[in-house]
Chains A and B, each alone.
Chain A
Amino acid sequence: MSADLRNEERDPAPGRPLNSGAAAPVSVVACPDGPLLVRGDFVLVGADGEELPRTRRTVALCRCGASALKPYCDGSHKFTGFRSDV
């Protein structure tokens, strides 16, 4: 049985930035005991300057170190007892 995407389900522009264009000021929310929530028109790049894979407008960046999806948060902070000052 093929589980391939149907034609109409194919992503027309894989990996395209979702928040390009319009003026969308960047805001970073430091979620208590959790990630940094980043909204707005930003690019996320690795140390080599290459853009990191990103599939959503707003991202949660891990700041506890425990995520298996770094740089993104995967909810692990809730199980490691991570406490932030802010």
Chain B
Amino acid sequence: MKQPAPRGEASTLLLAVLTGTVDSPGDALSLLESAVGAAVTRTPDILHDDDLQLALFCLYELHYSGIEGAGDDWEWNLRLLGVRQRIEVAFEARVRDEVVLGELPDATGEAVCAELFRMTAGDSGPSMSRFVARTATDDQLREFLVHRSISQLREADPHTWAIPRLAGRAKAALVEIQADEYGNGLLARMHSSLFARTMRELGMDDTYGAYLDAAPAITLASNNLMSLFGLNRRLRGAIVGHLAAYEMTSSQPNRLYSRGFTRLGYGEAATGYFDEHVEADAVHEQIAGRDMAGGLVESDPHLLADVLFGAAAALAVDSIMTERIMAAWEDGRSSLLPSEAMAP
């Protein structure tokens, strides 16, 4: 991924360390550690903290595509892992504060599946998909694609971390879903390829991370949540719940997104991504609820609360993100950060 523009002291120091533009990496790391330590105590809300969310995003990116100019050795640098953990602890605590779990269901596949469907049916807050279907302008479609591009150009990757951490029925189910996400061996059907095609159809750059500088903290937070759950084995229940929640809230919104792009005159090349998700996720949500999440809880009942937490966290963070975007659009503002990436 190309180097993003820093958004404050922590991300400035981090990018300087990663790209070797400091005289003494040891001193810069010490400065980074204290800057991050201060920032996590000082931040009014880490979900909207651009500096910390970008720093965390970059630290996670070392495990995905890497960052241009950053040596690959930084991935397992102990001091950077320490910095990452400081941000993660504050981030996870904030997300846990946001989430209220009801009474836990029985630890059976059917009960877990039913509870996940119940949680994901209660869709509160403004609906971005209805707005896109009926009202969004061409510019707003592009903004929508920018927000989504941060995850969709590497769609499925954060949940793939969970594969070696599961076994048996839950693993078979996760792999079945992921194989479909990755196109069952057909590159053209890989969901990230379909999304890239949509972006190109709207004249946008489909390079991974091309619009990162325009993505506000909460959009990064939504992505960081998946990496937090995916990269920490102790949170394997949460990453499974997260994927189940995503699959269960996908079919109908994607139908509406598709309608919005059609309304503004775009053809199948643009809507193909969304149309594919209507059908795919109606399959995935069943596999995810019953076999993946349900299967995991049946084999390891003490993960029940984590699975439901992961689902609730996905819904909570994304609904904050949606509220932000919709509030900007209702005021006639852009929901993005000012960035050269969006210059016409």
Seen from chain A, the residues whose Cβ lies within 8 Å of a Cβ on chain B are: 1-5, 8-12, 18, 29, 31-32, 34-35, 37, 55-60, 67-69, 72-76, 78-79
Contact = CB atoms under 8 A, between A and B. Distances in A.
B189 A55 contact: yes
Nearest to A67: B282
Contacts of A58: 176, 180, 283, 287
Interface stretch (B27-35, B66-74, B160-168, B273-281): B273-281
Contacts of A59: 283
A11 B287 CA distance: 26
Interface string B176-189: 10011000101111
Given A29-B290, A74-B278, A75-B252, A5 B283 contact: no
Contacts of A60: 282-283, 286
A79 B189 contact: no
Nearest to A5: B188
Given A11-B188, A58-B176, A69 B278 contact: yes
Contacts of A34: 286
B270 interface: yes
Contacts of B121: 78
A58 B184 CA distance: 11
B114 A9 contact: no
Chain B CB within 10 Å — which of A5, A29, A37 has the most? A5
Contacts of A5: 188, 193, 197
Interface of B: 110, 114, 117, 121, 176, 179-180, 184, 186-189, 193, 197-198, 200-201, 203, 250-252, 255, 269-270, 276, 278-283, 285-287, 290
Given A1-B201, A3-B200, A58-B176, A75 B285 contact: yes
B120 to A, nearest CB: 9
Given A57-B176, A76-B252, 19 more contacts: A2-B200, A3-B197, A3-B198, A3-B201, A5-B188, A9-B197, A11-B186, A12-B186, A29-B286, A32-B114, A34-B286, A55-B189, A55-B279, A57-B184, A58-B176, A68-B255, A69-B279, A74-B255, A75-B285
Contact of B279 (A1, A12, A74): A74
A38 to B, nearest CB: 10
Contact of A56 (B184, B200, B278): B184
B233 to A, nearest CB: 28
27 contacts: A3-B198, A3-B200, A4-B269, A5-B197, A18-B184, A29-B290, A31-B286, A31-B290, A32-B110, A35-B282, A35-B286, A37-B286, A55-B189, A56-B283, A57-B176, A60-B282, A60-B286, A67-B282, A69-B278, A69-B282, A72-B282, A73-B283, A74-B252, A74-B255, A75-B278, A75-B285, A76-B252
